[in-house]
Amino acid sequence: MLNRREMIAGLSATTVLTSTTVVIGQTRHYIPLISKGFSHQFWQAVKLGSEQAAAEFGVDVTFEGPDNEGQVDRQIDMLAAALAKNPAAIGFAAVDSQASIPMLREIDAAGIPIIAFDSGVASDIPVTTCTTDNLASAALAADKMAEAIGGAGKVAIISHDQTSVTGIERVDGFVDQVAAKYPDIEIVSIQYGGGDHLISTEITKSILTANPDLKGLFGANEGSAIGIVNGVTESGADVVIIGYDSGAAQKEAVRSGLMAGAITQNPVGIGYETVKAAVMTVAGEAVPKVIDTGFYYYDQSNMDDAEIAAVLYD
């Protein structure tokens, strides 16, 4: 019996891919997306983009993720449930880039293409990865931090995890840029709050207590950044905050001046490109190994500009 990939390879000339629908043997295809989380506004924006693409290309999608971004086992269970439904393709944003590989191998063996989004995995199994350039965007965050603190002083980082590609690369991008360009900046602490704003709040207060002369804090995702804002507010500290992602609370913090600025991804674009890449793959079309969905830095001066406002989400 042919697996799905072999059947795709053998499609006839009746396979059609247009801007509105994909038809393969007159079957409407199902593409589940398994996300790192669900509650953050970032993931809701990714979901919106996936639904826009589903409507445009005439496929059915579902979007789900664990309650928080630390539930590796829960996410793998979701992958297994998606496989059991025999989908045309699966979109996947890995909480843990290593732990998911056995399940991904099982999906791959069934001939079901995997489209990675936001976070890649430590494997060449995914057909493509739709993602922000996390190293470059975090390096830009470091540049903005250096500018804001005058190129010298102590700073700290709070990130969401040490297991996902986004968690690793955003820390590495910031740290490497500081090491390469700013010898008078000292990174005194790197801690992880699981993307939970309450945990990140407590971490922030602990860092501030241990480092009363701290100049800046970088929050590497939405939950981390909001936790920093809350922790700084509760502590009454005077530090520069650079965030990552947007969402209503971060936008308000930037607009008020409490946060100096933040990196925004293009989450709607990530969701859209993930479904589009899945549709193209099922139809036998080639896709690049990495689809760069872009990023921007926003602050009080530009957050209402049309180009920036279009990628800020609530």
What angle, rounded to 10 degrees, do the helices at 165-181 and 134-148 form? 40
120 shares a domain with 16: yes
Q: What is the pLDDT of residue 189?
A: 98
| CA triple 262-228-171, angle to 5 deg | 60
207 shares a domain with 63: no
Q: Which two tokens stand for residue 67?
A: 């309650």
138 shares a domain with 127: no
62 shares a domain with 37: yes
Task: Indicate the pTM of the whole model.
Answer: 0.83
Host H or E run for residue 116: strand 114-117
CA-based torsion, 14, 16, 21, 25: positive or negative? positive
18 shares a domain with 63: yes
Task: Assess if residue 45 is contained within a domain.
Answer: yes
Per-residue pLDDT of the chain (314 residues; tens, 9 = 90+): 334 443 333 332 223 333 334 444 447 899 999 999 888 889 999 999 999 999 999 999 999 999 888 899 999 999 999 999 999 999 999 999 899 999 999 999 999 999 999 988 889 999 999 999 999 999 999 999 999 999 999 999 999 999 999 999 999 999 999 999 999 999 999 999 999 999 999 999 999 999 999 999 999 999 999 999 999 999 999 999 999 999 999 999 999 999 999 999 999 999 999 999 999 999 999 999 999 999 999 999 999 999 999 999 88
Task: Assess if residue 12 is contained within a domain.
Answer: yes
Please give the tally of structural domains in the chain.
Answer: 2
Enumerate the β-bridge partners of residue 263. 244, 297
Q: What is the pLDDT of residue 120?
A: 85
Amino acid at 140: L
190 shares a domain with 125: no
Task: Assess if residue 223 is contained within a domain.
Answer: yes
238 shares a domain with 89: no
Tell me how crowded residue 252 is: count the other CB atoms within 10 A of its CB.
12
Enumerate the β-bridge partners of residue 214. 154
Task: Assess if residue 313 is contained within a domain.
Answer: no
> What CA dihedral angle connects 190, 194, 199 and 200, to 10 degrees?
40
Task: Assess if residue 303 is contained within a domain.
Answer: no
Q: What is the pLDDT of residue 5?
A: 44
CATH number, domain with residue 174: 3.40.50.2300
Task: Assess if residue 310 is contained within a domain.
Answer: no
59 shares a domain with 122: yes
109-153 pLDDT, tens per residue? 999 999 999 988 889 999 999 999 999 999 999 999 999 999 999
Task: Assess if residue 81 is contained within a domain.
Answer: yes
290 shares a domain with 252: no
Task: Assess if residue 236 is contained within a domain.
Answer: yes
283 shares a domain with 244: no
256 shares a domain with 176: yes
Q: What is the pLDDT of residue 15?
A: 31
CA proximity to 190, closest of 177, 180, 198, 200: 200
Say how far residue 150 (Cα) sits from the centre of its chain: 30
20 shares a domain with 64: yes
70-84 pLDDT, tens per residue? 899 999 999 999 999
- β-bridge pairing 290-292 and 240-244: unpaired
- Give the range of the structural domain holding residue 60, as residue numbers without chain letter: 4-131+267-294
CA proximity to 158, closest of 71, 245, 110, 217: 217
Helix/strand/coil (H/E/C) assignment for every residue in 184-212: CEEEEEEEECCCCHHHHHHHHHHHHHHCC
Alpha-carbon distance of 171 to 52, in angstroms, equals 32
